Chain A
């Protein structure tokens, strides 16, 4: 059911009137909610221009701090993205291996890291590694946690992509006398990559979302920076800029994510247009993957 218009007829005059009333009422409700929010903000003086101006006032160091927080956020996400993609690819190949002694440990590793909440993994890296003599920092723990969790998720995405290539391709490659490694690298992976790209990018967006967990382990990402800025500014001016800084941090997160999601959609459209990927069907991204913070454990057995 691709169009929802099947659910209702082309409206007749009476239904059109009803819908118009519904539209007006709906608009009024929406406008009412917006007005209520604005009124509450306004009655607290949160809408005054001077309060928002601090976000752009370079003398207070606020824009610089927010910018560096954004850079720090992107930095940890970038490290996680690269490491998780590389390790995920290795794990996927390992899980598809013909050798039992490779396949079973890799499967256990993947299933374990998918089953544990991301925050627990990050805390593990932060609290446990120093005990066994590995020095750690908030950045390291966050990056390692993001990597471990996302490599498991990505390896499942890669595996699904490789398995989704028509088996005739694989059989034909073997029939041509290629070795296992050649079949994988020359035939299966190039076709699978086109299929996986949109899902891969979407998962990387989720990784960026999850880097906000740095707030909890005191890594100076956007939220943590906003919080510490609020503390210093409250000390200087009293608690008048709190709401503005929180909103700024939240909005920056949302804007960056929306931009990346938009990039994912562009890539998806491009892959679909490319002639070589003509046979690619839509790969629906499972909701658990999109939700971040810990994927699902339902695997098709």
Chain B
């Protein structure tokens, strides 16, 4: 117990860093993913192509490579992020948004064509159809896949530790050097830190799924 009391500030800060990494990247990737999916179903061919290219590239790139480029790569072309934390949020958002876009697209595909046809028949244009008819329904069917993306994102934040962001995983390496005799306790504390984020999220998303599910 003394271990927990001694290292509480470190663990708390690390936990908050992980949580804010996950929340910020989640927010940005949701926004970017929505834009991407709108581009992917739009009538303008270059936008469609660009979005498809983006999604394909990021789905086939390891997240570590994305981190690597944003941290070590872009410095070479005279760009840089103000802090490692912001670089980590960008890497996570860029990577995750591709998966958000895919989840949303599967949701759009799950909306029965009759809905869009009816909207078109009522005279709504592309934007209105998407905003007022298709996307609200799509968002509901994608609650479970988006929940999965969110949980995977929360766990993927651990990669930021390899790039000098002091999150939970970084605290793990730091504390394990200092407390070699209590290594099992260190690991338990870190794992609990992640579970505190993922388990309630899973429960919440299940609840949300039941609430918003459309019976078809």
**Residue positions of A touching B, CB distance < 8 A:** 1-4, 6-9, 11, 19, 22-23, 26-27, 29-30, 40-41, 44, 46, 115-120, 123-124, 127-128, 131, 209-213, 215-216, 223, 227, 242-243, 246-247, 249-250, 253-254, 257-258, 261, 284, 286-298, 301
**Docked pose: A198 CA to B103 CA in angstroms:** 18
Chain B residues 79-95 with CB under 8 Å of chain A are 79, 95
SS class, residues of chain B in contact with chain A: helix
B176 to chain A, nearest CB (A): 5
Q: Write the chain B residue with the least CB distance to A241.
A: B76
- With A6-B120, A7-B129, A40-B78 known as contacts, the answer to whether A297 contacts B159 (CB < 8 A) is no
**Residue positions of B touching A, CB distance < 8 A:** 40-41, 43-47, 50, 56-57, 59-65, 68-69, 72-73, 76-79, 95-96, 99, 102-103, 106, 108-113, 115-117, 120, 125-126, 129-130, 134, 144-145, 147-149, 151-159, 161-162, 169, 172-173, 176, 180, 183-184, 187, 190-191, 194-195, 198-199, 202, 205-206
- With A118-B155, A291-B156, A293-B159 known as contacts, the answer to whether A26 contacts B62 (CB < 8 A) is no
- With A8-B126, A119-B158, A128-B184 known as contacts, the answer to whether A1 contacts B108 (CB < 8 A) is yes
Contact of B158 among A19, A120, A127 (CB under 8 A): A120
Contact between A290 and B99 (Cβ–Cβ < 8 Å)?
yes
Contact between B76 and A243 (Cβ–Cβ < 8 Å)?
yes
**Docked pose: A171 CA to B138 CA in angstroms:** 38
Contact between B43 and A258 (Cβ–Cβ < 8 Å)?
no
Contact between B120 and A212 (Cβ–Cβ < 8 Å)?
no
Given contacts A27-B46, A117-B169, 15 further A-B contacts (CB under 8 A): A1-B110, A6-B113, A7-B120, A26-B47, A44-B77, A115-B198, A131-B183, A209-B63, A254-B60, A258-B60, A287-B152, A289-B148, A290-B99, A291-B95, A293-B155
Contact between B134 and A7 (Cβ–Cβ < 8 Å)?
yes
Contact between A1 and B64 (Cβ–Cβ < 8 Å)?
no
The interface residues of chain B lying within 8 Å CB-to-CB of A11 are 43
The interface residues of chain B lying within 8 Å CB-to-CB of A216 are 64, 159, 161-162
Contact of B63 among A2, A249, A293 (CB under 8 A): A293
Q: Write the chain A residue with the least CB distance to B18.
A: A117
B113 to chain A, nearest CB (A): 5
B167 to chain A, nearest CB (A): 10
Q: Write the chain B residue with the least CB distance to A42.
A: B77
The interface residues of chain B lying within 8 Å CB-to-CB of A286 are 145, 148
B122 to chain A, nearest CB (A): 13
Q: Write the chain B residue with the least CB distance to A260.
A: B60
Q: Write the chain A residue with the least CB distance to B78.
A: A44
Contact of B156 among A2, A117, A223, A227 (CB under 8 A): A117
Contact of B169 among A123, A131, A212 (CB under 8 A): A123
Contact between A1 and B129 (Cβ–Cβ < 8 Å)?
no
Contact between A296 and B72 (Cβ–Cβ < 8 Å)?
no
Contact between B205 and A298 (Cβ–Cβ < 8 Å)?
yes
The interface residues of chain B lying within 8 Å CB-to-CB of A9 are 120
Contact between B76 and A246 (Cβ–Cβ < 8 Å)?
yes
